[in-house]
Structures are given as C-alpha cells and as structure tokens.
Amino acid sequence: MSIEMATGGSAGSVEDTSTTTRDRIKAVAAELYVLRGHDGFSFGDIAGAIGTTRANIHHHFGNKRQLMEELIEDIASNAQARIERYWMAGNLTFAKRLAMQLDDLQSYYQKFNKTDEDRHVWSPISRLRHDLPLLGAEAVRALERVNRKYDVCLRHAVMQAIASGELRAETPIDDVVRIFRVTLLSCPPMTQDTGSFKEIARLFDALAHSVLAAWKGPHQPDS
C-alpha cells in the first residue's frame, strides 16, 4: 500500500508547517497502524514516509503511547460518525442503508487491499481488537462505544422501517438489531479467510433476502 495517499504526494512536497506536519504524521500513522498493527511500525517509518525526522514526531506526539491514544480516539469517533450517517441520518429505506454500509466497508477493503490476494487487515476497528492486549482499557472503551452506536442506530433504522411499512409491525426489533450488529462487526475477518470482498457482498444479499423478506411490510420497496 502506498503512503502517498496520506501524505498528499511525495515526501519532498510536504509543507513544513506545524499543523500540516502534525496532521500528516497522524494520517500516515493511521494507515500504518491498520496495515501493520501496533508493533509493526515506528516513528522512523512515519518520518521516512513524510520526509521529516523522528525528533519532529516526538515534538508533536511525545511518544508512541500518546500517538496511539489519539489514533484510538480518531478511530472510534470516525466509526461512530459513519454508523450514524448510514443507519440514522435521513429518511432512507432499510435496504438503502444496508447498501450504503456495504459500499463503506468495500471502500476500506480496497484502500488496504489492492488485489484480493493481499488479505490485509483493512478495518481500524478490527485492528484494535487484535491489539487489545497491548492497548488495554482505552481500546476496550473505543470498541464499546462503536458497539453501542451500532445498537442505537440500527434500532432507529429498524423502527423507521416499521413505521414506513417496509417491515411489519411485529418485526422482532431486538433480534433484527442483534443480527445486523454482530454481522457488521464481524465482516473484516471474512475477507482474510476467502481472499475476496465478494463473501461480504453475498452475506449482505443473504441478510436482505432472509431478514427483510421474513418480515416484509405492506410498503416494502422493490429495490
């Protein structure tokens, strides 16, 4: 994976302003973290990618623990914002929300996997799970925040679908929310098992055909 996406170009093009340098350090660190994990990158790797010095990175972040604290917060906040965007915002059908979520997951997959054979970790949340023994309570709290946000937003989406007639009034809300929440949080390892994003797309189709069809309401859209 190229780090130029995070740096905005080649190392020589980096503007030496405090804000820009700090932001680019975090952007490169975030990508290296997802791809390699906590122990797989160093300040030297970041410095080489953006054309600065390790001393400059220490100036901005002190040590790796401080950098990771900010990355963990960014990961949790970004995930929560995306979940809310896809499952709570607007007046969309449940089917449309599911399609938007699939597109979001695929964009992350493609960012870190240029070919299906790569089988790289591509989910920041999944990477946090891998590193729980190293990151401790902060990572645990971040995962709990994302889990709760999925529960709240999926519940809103299901209730909205019931209100619009897309789903029947007797739809078991708790069960449907649990099925989708656990599924969405469990998608990343599937691509490492199969070497392809197609398995997730097939799973989403299966969910749409089973869960949505099982409680089809009087006004469920055709698409």
pLDDT recorded at residue 19: 53
Task: Look at residues 182, 202, 200 and name the one whose alpha carbon lies nearest to residue 192.
Answer: 200
93-120 pLDDT, tens digit each: 999 999 999 999 999 999 999 887 889 9
**CA–CA separation, 78 and 69 (whole Å):** 14
pLDDT recorded at residue 15: 43
165-215 pLDDT, tens digit each: 999 999 999 999 999 999 999 999 999 888 889 999 999 999 988 987 789
Question: Does residue 1 contact residue 120 with C-beta atoms inside 8 Å?
Answer: yes
Mean pLDDT, to the nearest integer, of 74-86?
Answer: 98
**Degrees, nearest 5: CA angle 114-115-121:** 70
- Residue 14 — very low, low, confident or very high, per pLDDT cuts 50/70/90? very low
Listed ranges 15-19, 76-80, 94-98; the one with the highest mean pLDDT: 76-80
**CA–CA separation, 59 and 106 (whole Å):** 36
- Residue 222 — very low, low, confident or very high, per pLDDT cuts 50/70/90? low
The encoded tokens of residue 29 equal: 């660190």
Question: Does residue 170 contact residue 140 with C-beta atoms inside 8 Å?
Answer: no
Task: Look at residues 17, 11, 13, 98 and name the one whose alpha carbon lies nearest to residue 48.
Answer: 11
- Which neighbouring-strand residues pair with 167? 216
Provide the b/e sequence for 112-121 (b: ≥16 CB within 10 Å): bbeeeeeeeb
Domains of the chain with CATH codes = 4-62 (1.10.10), 72-214 (1.10.357)
**CA–CA separation, 4 and 165 (whole Å):** 47
Would the pTM count as exceeding 0.85?
yes
**CA–CA separation, 18 and 141 (whole Å):** 30
pLDDT recorded at residue 131: 97
With a cut of 90, say whether residue 124 has pLDDT above it: yes
With a cut of 90, say whether residue 218 has pLDDT above it: no
